[in-house]
């Protein structure tokens, strides 16, 4: 299109796309106004169609760990594209990516590629049910696992109240197989197993929930989930679509020392292209077709462009010890923010290169706490930062991401903007 205005593009988008966006959070409903449209992205900077430069802490919601359009990834995609966009048959990059994931994520002995994080979690749930012969699933409030029917479920009014659909089109009978419990409440999980242990196929959890802001597991919580699953013959599924290869080479499970039975992956392993993967113990993964009875398939799974991009990105992270540098940048960012909010009614959480500033004095240990945030203030904060060239996620309930392209100078500039805006709220 020839239009150079975000407003005119937004008007056209509303005409042709439901809600004007292809993923709901992009619509800015939580912060007011209309979204800007991007012309290009390079390093840690987005350029809008109006040629405005923005320091970006969304990073396409996690994949841009090296920054936008890193030369090593762009070149890998260019080379792969010259050999063909998709094959529909096996190719060498599939084997290389599988070997790489299994080498880096110690709980994964076999892995299958898919096209999105949603596909990965959906496949984990089906595989867990097929491998155990059970139907019930436990998830946690505030943990988002994609738009999977079984997982689009709200919490009930009690620890053992079965959920109800969080979306039209999800059958109540299917939602009834999912129990939604408070994160960090191990007693509620124990109660669920006491009552339904022989019917529970799996627990699925974001070990670091990043879709309700960012809150952290309390000591013993994840360890308790591991022990309960082992004791009752259920599977433990870590959704590391967001944290995998970002918080450590082997994901958060490397940092916490807990081995899940299955792991859902995505984002970083696609280098910015659509991708997902799931893997785990060999005897479980071998339940998948064609070797087992659990069917899963995908025409574009293992797409050569996505795998070339992901392998290039992972290779570069290993070459430069990117995780150490990300930790240093994250600590620098945290130091600046904590100085600004000292003695003020805010809570700041960080894990590696992921972070969230909550507009609530805390503590924030679960979704109920996060929902106490002052949403109107957050909206003013978001818009003020955006006007001054800093782009945070347009929702209080999303994590932010730091990339290796975020220099100390950019982080310092960000701190100046944050301090300036918070003084006005």
Whole domain around residue 149: which residue ranges?
Answer: 71-318
Q: In this structure, are strands 200-205 and 136-140 parallel, antiparallel, or unpaired?
A: parallel
Same domain, 296 and 416: no
Domain membership flag for residue 353: yes
Concatenate the DSSP letters of all residues of 100-139 into one string: HHHHHSTT-SEEEEESSHHHHHHHHHHHHHHHHT--EEEE
Within a 10 A sphere around the Cβ of 298, how many other Cβ atoms?
15
Concatenate the DSSP letters of all residues of 332-354 into one string: HHHHHHHHHHTTSS-EEEEETTE
Domain membership flag for residue 414: yes
- The Cα 116–Cα 21 span in angstroms is 18
Average pLDDT, the chain: 94
The token duo for 417 is: 């903007």
- CA dihedral 166→154→285→351, nearest 10 degrees, is 110
Q: Which contiguous run of DSSP H or E holds residue 355?
A: strand 354-358
- Give residue-wise pLDDT tens across range 290-327: 999 999 999 999 999 999 999 999 999 999 999 999 99
pTM of the model: 0.95
Same domain, 250 and 368: no
Burial status of residue 158 (CB atoms within 10 A of its CB: 0-12, 13-18, 19 or more): exposed
Query: pLDDT at position 1, please?
Result: 52
Query: pLDDT at position 107, please?
Result: 98
Domain membership flag for residue 269: yes
Same domain, 337 and 270: no
The token duo for 371 is: 């929902």
Query: pLDDT at position 321, please?
Result: 96
Query: pLDDT at position 405, please?
Result: 98
Same domain, 33 and 174: no
Count of structural domains, the chain: 2
Please report, for the domain that includes residue 364, its CATH number.
3.90.1150.10
Of 318, 352, 370, which marks where a domain is finished? 318
Regions of the chain where pLDDT drops below 70: 1-3, 154-166
Of 283, 318, 353, which marks where a domain is finished? 318
- Give residue-wise pLDDT tens across range 237-246: 999 999 999 9
Query: pLDDT at position 152, please?
Result: 74
Question: Hey, which residues are catalytic here?
Answer: 144, 239, 267
Same domain, 275 and 299: yes
């Amino acid at each position: 299109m020839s239009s150079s205005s975000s407003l005119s593009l937004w008007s056209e988008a509303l005409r042709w796309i439901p809600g004007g966006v292809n993923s709901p959070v992009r619509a800015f409903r939580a912060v007011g106004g209309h979204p800007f449209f991007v012309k290009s992205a390079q390093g840690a900077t987005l350029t809008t169609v109006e040629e405005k430069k923005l320091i970006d802490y969304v990073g396409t919601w996690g994949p841009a760990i090296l920054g936008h359009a890193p030369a090593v990834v762009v070149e890998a995609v260019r080379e792969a594209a010259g050999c063909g966009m998709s094959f529909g048959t096996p190719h060498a990059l599939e084997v290389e990516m599988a070997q790489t994931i299994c080498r880096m994520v110690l709980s994964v002995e076999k892995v299958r590629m898919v096209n999105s994080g949603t596909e990965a979690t959906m496949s984990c749930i089906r595989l867990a049910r097929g491998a155990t012969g059970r139907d019930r699933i436990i998830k946690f409030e505030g943990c988002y696992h994609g738009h999977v029917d079984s997982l689009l479920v709200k919490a009930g009014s009690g620890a053992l109240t079965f959920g109800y659909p969080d979306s039209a089109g999800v059958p109540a009978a299917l939602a009834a197989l999912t129990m939604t419990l408070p994160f960090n409440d191990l007693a509620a999980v124990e109660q669920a197993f006491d009552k339904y242990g022989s019917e529970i196929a799996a627990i699925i959890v974001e070990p670091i929930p990043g879709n309700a802001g960012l809150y952290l597991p309390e000591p013993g919580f994840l360890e308790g989930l591991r022990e309960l699953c082992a004791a009752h013959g259920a599977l433990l599924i870590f959704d590391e679509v967001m944290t995998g290869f970002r918080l450590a080479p082997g994901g958060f499970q490397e940092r916490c020392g807990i081995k899940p039975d299955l792991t859902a992956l995505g984002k970083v392993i696609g280098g910015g292209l659509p991708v997902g993967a799931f893997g785990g113990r060999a005897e479980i993964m071998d339940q998948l077709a064609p070797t087992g009875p659990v069917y899963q398939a995908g025409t574009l799974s293992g797409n050569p462009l996505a795998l070339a991009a992901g392998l290039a990105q992972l290779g570069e992270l290993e070459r430069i010890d990117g995780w150490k540098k990300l930790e240093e940048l994250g600590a620098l960012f945290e130091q600046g923010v904590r100085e600004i909010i000292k003695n003020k009614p805010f809570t700041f959480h960080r894990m590696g290169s992921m972070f969230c500033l909550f507009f609530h004095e805390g503590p924030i240990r679960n979704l109920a706490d996060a929902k106490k945030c002052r949403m109107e203030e957050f909206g003013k904060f978001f818009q003020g930062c955006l006007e001054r060239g800093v782009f945070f996620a347009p929702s209080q309930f999303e994590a932010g991401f730091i990339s290796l392209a975020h220099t100390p100078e950019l982080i310092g500039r960000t701190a100046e903007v944050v301090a300036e805006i918070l003084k006005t709220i």
